[in-house]
Amino acid sequence: MKNTTPLVILLLLISLFMPGCAGMNKAQTGMAGGMAAGAIAGQAVGRSTKGTLLGMALGGVLGYLFGNELDKQDALNLQHAYARVPDGYTSTWKNPDKNTTYSVTPKNTYSRNGQVCRDAEVYATTDGEPKNVIQTACDDGHGNWYFR
Protein backbone atom coordinates (compact mmCIF):
# COMPACT_ATOMS: atom_id res chain seq x y z
CA MET A 1 0.00 0.00 0.00
CA LYS A 2 1.30 3.45 -0.94
CA ASN A 3 2.15 5.84 1.91
CA THR A 4 -0.18 8.86 1.57
CA THR A 5 0.90 10.60 4.79
CA PRO A 6 2.99 13.30 3.03
CA LEU A 7 0.15 14.16 0.68
CA VAL A 8 -2.32 14.39 3.56
CA ILE A 9 0.05 16.66 5.52
CA LEU A 10 0.59 18.87 2.49
CA LEU A 11 -3.14 19.19 1.83
CA LEU A 12 -3.83 20.02 5.48
CA LEU A 13 -1.17 22.74 5.48
CA ILE A 14 -2.44 24.22 2.23
CA SER A 15 -5.99 24.26 3.61
CA LEU A 16 -4.75 26.21 6.65
CA PHE A 17 -3.32 28.94 4.42
CA MET A 18 -6.05 29.18 1.79
CA PRO A 19 -8.74 31.06 3.76
CA GLY A 20 -6.40 33.98 4.44
CA CYS A 21 -4.56 34.16 1.11
CA ALA A 22 -6.23 37.41 0.03
CA GLY A 23 -4.88 39.26 3.07
CA MET A 24 -1.44 37.68 3.16
CA ASN A 25 1.66 39.81 2.79
CA LYS A 26 4.54 38.81 0.52
CA ALA A 27 6.45 37.06 3.30
CA GLN A 28 3.46 34.87 4.15
CA THR A 29 2.72 34.18 0.49
CA GLY A 30 6.36 33.26 -0.08
CA MET A 31 6.29 30.94 2.91
CA ALA A 32 3.14 29.16 1.73
CA GLY A 33 4.47 28.76 -1.81
CA GLY A 34 7.87 27.67 -0.51
CA MET A 35 6.28 25.06 1.76
CA ALA A 36 4.27 23.58 -1.09
CA ALA A 37 7.20 23.54 -3.51
CA GLY A 38 9.56 22.23 -0.81
CA ALA A 39 7.18 19.41 0.11
CA ILE A 40 6.88 18.33 -3.50
CA ALA A 41 10.66 18.52 -4.03
CA GLY A 42 11.34 16.76 -0.72
CA GLN A 43 9.01 13.90 -1.65
CA ALA A 44 10.54 13.62 -5.12
CA VAL A 45 14.09 13.49 -3.75
CA GLY A 46 13.65 11.63 -0.45
CA ARG A 47 10.57 9.53 -1.30
CA SER A 48 9.66 9.52 2.39
CA THR A 49 7.64 11.43 4.95
CA LYS A 50 10.87 12.72 6.45
CA GLY A 51 12.02 14.07 3.06
CA THR A 52 8.66 15.70 2.45
CA LEU A 53 8.60 17.40 5.86
CA LEU A 54 12.21 18.50 5.58
CA GLY A 55 11.60 19.92 2.10
CA MET A 56 8.46 21.68 3.32
CA ALA A 57 10.28 23.25 6.28
CA LEU A 58 13.24 24.40 4.21
CA GLY A 59 11.00 25.68 1.41
CA GLY A 60 8.85 27.59 3.91
CA VAL A 61 11.86 29.32 5.47
CA LEU A 62 13.40 30.24 2.11
CA GLY A 63 10.05 31.43 0.74
CA TYR A 64 9.43 33.57 3.83
CA LEU A 65 12.87 35.17 3.63
CA PHE A 66 12.48 35.93 -0.08
CA GLY A 67 8.96 37.37 0.36
CA ASN A 68 10.02 39.41 3.37
CA GLU A 69 12.77 41.09 1.34
CA LEU A 70 10.20 42.13 -1.26
CA ASP A 71 8.01 43.70 1.47
CA LYS A 72 11.07 45.54 2.75
CA GLN A 73 11.63 47.14 -0.67
CA ASP A 74 8.19 48.78 -0.59
CA ALA A 75 8.90 50.00 2.95
CA LEU A 76 12.28 51.40 1.86
CA ASN A 77 10.66 53.22 -1.06
CA LEU A 78 8.09 54.74 1.29
CA GLN A 79 10.82 55.78 3.75
CA HIS A 80 12.72 57.39 0.87
CA ALA A 81 9.66 59.38 -0.19
CA TYR A 82 9.21 60.79 3.32
CA ALA A 83 12.92 61.50 3.82
CA ARG A 84 13.91 62.97 0.46
CA VAL A 85 10.99 63.98 -1.75
CA PRO A 86 10.16 67.72 -1.47
CA ASP A 87 6.61 68.84 -0.64
CA GLY A 88 4.44 68.81 -3.75
CA TYR A 89 6.60 66.31 -5.66
CA THR A 90 5.69 62.68 -6.24
CA SER A 91 7.67 59.47 -5.88
CA THR A 92 6.22 56.54 -7.85
CA TRP A 93 7.21 52.88 -8.03
CA LYS A 94 5.71 49.60 -9.10
CA ASN A 95 5.81 46.29 -7.28
CA PRO A 96 5.30 43.69 -10.03
CA ASP A 97 4.91 40.87 -7.49
CA LYS A 98 1.82 42.49 -5.97
CA ASN A 99 0.71 44.09 -9.25
CA THR A 100 0.67 47.35 -7.30
CA THR A 101 1.73 50.86 -8.26
CA TYR A 102 2.46 53.36 -5.50
CA SER A 103 2.58 57.17 -5.64
CA VAL A 104 3.56 59.20 -2.58
CA THR A 105 3.29 62.98 -2.57
CA PRO A 106 4.45 64.77 0.59
CA LYS A 107 2.10 67.73 1.17
CA ASN A 108 3.23 69.42 4.36
CA THR A 109 6.39 69.33 6.49
CA TYR A 110 6.23 70.64 10.07
CA SER A 111 7.62 70.21 13.57
CA ARG A 112 5.66 68.33 16.24
CA ASN A 113 7.10 67.97 19.74
CA GLY A 114 10.60 68.60 18.38
CA GLN A 115 10.27 66.04 15.59
CA VAL A 116 10.03 66.63 11.85
CA CYS A 117 6.69 65.30 10.59
CA ARG A 118 5.14 65.15 7.15
CA ASP A 119 1.68 64.62 5.78
CA ALA A 120 1.62 62.80 2.46
CA GLU A 121 -0.96 61.58 0.02
CA VAL A 122 -0.37 57.90 -0.63
CA TYR A 123 -2.05 56.47 -3.69
CA ALA A 124 -1.89 52.74 -4.47
CA THR A 125 -3.47 50.83 -7.33
CA THR A 126 -3.65 47.06 -6.89
CA ASP A 127 -5.12 44.96 -9.71
CA GLY A 128 -6.82 48.09 -11.05
CA GLU A 129 -8.38 49.03 -7.68
CA PRO A 130 -7.26 52.47 -6.47
CA LYS A 131 -6.80 53.35 -2.81
CA ASN A 132 -6.01 56.83 -1.60
CA VAL A 133 -5.06 57.89 1.94
CA ILE A 134 -3.51 60.87 3.69
CA GLN A 135 -0.79 59.53 5.98
CA THR A 136 1.37 61.25 8.60
CA ALA A 137 4.90 60.14 9.39
CA CYS A 138 7.49 61.56 11.79
CA ASP A 139 11.27 61.22 11.80
CA ASP A 140 12.55 59.47 14.93
CA GLY A 141 15.72 61.57 14.85
CA HIS A 142 17.79 58.77 13.32
CA GLY A 143 16.40 58.98 9.79
CA ASN A 144 13.66 56.38 10.32
CA TRP A 145 10.10 57.49 9.65
CA TYR A 146 7.28 56.01 11.69
CA PHE A 147 3.64 56.34 10.74
CA ARG A 148 0.91 57.83 12.90
- pLDDT per position as a tens digit, 1-18: 455 555 555 555 555 554
Give mean pLDDT, residues 56-66.
Answer: 62
**Model-wide pTM > 0.85:** no
pLDDT digits (tens, 9 = 90+) for 77-129: 888 999 999 999 999 999 887 788 889 999 999 998 889 999 999 888 878 88
SS (H, E, C) 12-75: HHHHHHHHHHHHCCHHHHHHHHHHHHHHHHHHHHHCCHHHHHHHHHHHHHHHHHHHHHHHHHHH
User: Any idea where the domains of the chain sit in the sequence?
Assistant: 5-71, 87-147
